[in-house]
Each structure stands twice: as C-alpha cells, then as structure tokens.
Amino acid sequence: MKIQALEDWTYIPEFGGNREGAEDEQTAYTFQVLSGRAEMDLRKDGAETFPDSLVTVIKSVKNPPVIVSAKGKEVETSVDDLSKLPELKGLYLELILEYGRHATLDGESSKN
C-alpha cells in the first residue's frame, strides 16, 4: 500500500480582500500536519468539532492582519486572536475550513 505523504502547506486567505493586494503584503498562514494522536487531542469532543484555537496547527504567519480602530490606532493580531476577536471571525472560519480540507488521510487509501 502506498499513501501520499502529508506535508505542511501555506495558505493565502481570501478574507478582507487579502488575495487582491500586492503579493508581498498578503497575509499567509503556514499550517503543519499533526499526528493522529495530536489531531485526536485537538478534537476531544469529536471529529466535527472546531478547535478552540488554531495555535496548534498554524506554524507561522507572514504579514499578520492589522485591526484599525475608529481612532486610527493599529493593532497587529496573533494566531491566538483569530478565535477571540469578532473582527477576525470570518478569517477564523476560512482557516478552519482550509485546515479541514488538507489535514486528512489520503482519500484514495480509504476506498480500498
């Protein structure tokens, strides 16, 4: 039996028009593939459960999002902020879906 190796990957979200900006200014998240045990620990409440935080699965962020207040104050965000700040709710959900699409076993091997 041969199974395709799972590797870390980088994702550029669509949220907030991110992909429309200059390439060197786009926010990009690098995800890591977890072991089966680590994945089970992350989803203690069941396979369909969203993780509380993406800190465990995101290795790095290039150009993290910046939230600008009504007064113009800029605050750079962290991976931990994704699940906490209402301004980032859409981004959090997009990243959860991205992780779910890629961090699974090879689809072909389950057919045999």
pLDDT of amino acid 14? 98
- Helix (H/G/I), strand (E/B), else coil: 106: coil
pLDDT of amino acid 45? 58
Q: What is the pLDDT of residues 31-90, one digit of tens each?
A: 988 777 776 666 665 555 566 678 888 999 999 999 999 999 999 999 999 999 999 999
pLDDT of amino acid 107? 45
Map out the domains of the chain as residue ranges. Answer: 9-111
Is 41:4 a contact under the CB 8 Å cutoff?
A: no
Which tokens sit at 96?
């959860």
- Counts for the chain of helices (H) and strands (E), in that order: 2, 5
